[in-house]
Structure 1
Amino acid sequence: MLAGTAHGESRGQIPDSTVQEKDIKKRAKERQRKERQRERKRSEARGVLLACLEPERGALGGSHALQEAIAQWQRVGHGRQASGMGGDDPDGNLMEEASRQLEALQVKERAAAKCHALEMLEDDMVRLASNVNAEAQAVGAAECGGNVTGESSSSGGGLRKEVKEAESALCVICMDQRREMVLVPCGHLVLCRKCSQRHITASKLCPVCKAPVREICKVFS
């Protein structure tokens, strides 16, 4: 009777080999699921990167969009190599092309920022010259008219405006030297050479708009 009971219990147990086989299959399915997920992300990242490399799309997105696409592609590619799917990158040429176009875009954007800063400087110089000429004509007209009160008022107003214009051409930090350094990419011309070096080393932000400064350029008048 006891022998029969023991035999029945042994028949009810699942062999260890069967349990191990099920566990192996389960882990294999989980690996396949994760790999499919990685491949989907890799395909999406590749599509975004290719879209940014298209001429008509790249011009709209600029270097920032391309940088994000490259970073996403690198994250997905790194995950693929870490998972043991092979060390060779079949899309190495794609990465090289993306890096090349990113560098070209950044060069164009820096050049555009410099041109914009120079245009702003030219506009300021034209406006200042126009104001000075207008003030000179007003003072001359008052002198010819012989109106002492009007002459004094016009001269005083002109002098105040000239002083204000002169101050606007001085460095906003030291208020002593002329402005000669353009901040890129914001384009503000507000610092002299010495103050620009000290300020950018300390804060790396434009003192006017607080935008990050990538580089400073000297303006030759």
Structure 2
Amino acid sequence: MRSATVPRFRSARLGRGWYLAAVLSAVLAVGMCLLGWRQADQADRIAAHPVRTEGTITQLPAGSATYSAVSYQVDGQQRTAADLWLPEDAKVGDRICLEHAADDSGAVRVCGKRYPQPAGVGLARVSVPVALLLFAGCVVRIRRHRRATQAFRLRTRGRGRGARISTTVAFATEALGDGMPSITHGKRSRRRRRGGRRALR
């Protein structure tokens, strides 16, 4: 029982791991697709009716958790765009040319650039195919795991039935072996008694 339970536990844990990896890869692929689609949509809207303005760099990226920030003014309102493309020698307080969509001042990009956030688009282009390949690999592994689990269950059932049949046969043989001598002994004793009576007569 212990040897059968341990592989079953390992198999269940392995199957959950592949399911979790498939879900995470699917979520990553969908998220990166949405990011790329949003960037492409904003780029198309800006290119349709671009409005030029001037922005000021207020923050530079200082690590993986921080992004650049550029503030600009549209219709008397101060707005901020994050993670835009900036030149390598950019400094806080530098002025930079921007253009935004006429119908959406939040869709803004640096002049001369196609996408508002080129780094995000590049990340989406790389991560989406990788996530899809990972998801496909997880699906293949999950199917193989299901087939192996079904085969293991069939083997276990067959062994269980064989063990039950052999146990039943063993019990029946043992019972017959124990009962036969008493039955035979009883018949012999009756015959002897009848023969003895006839001899006495």
TM-score by length of 2: 0.38
Q: Which structure has the greater CA radius of gyration?
A: 2
- Identify, as 1 or 2, the structure richer in helix: 1
TM-score by length of 1: 0.35
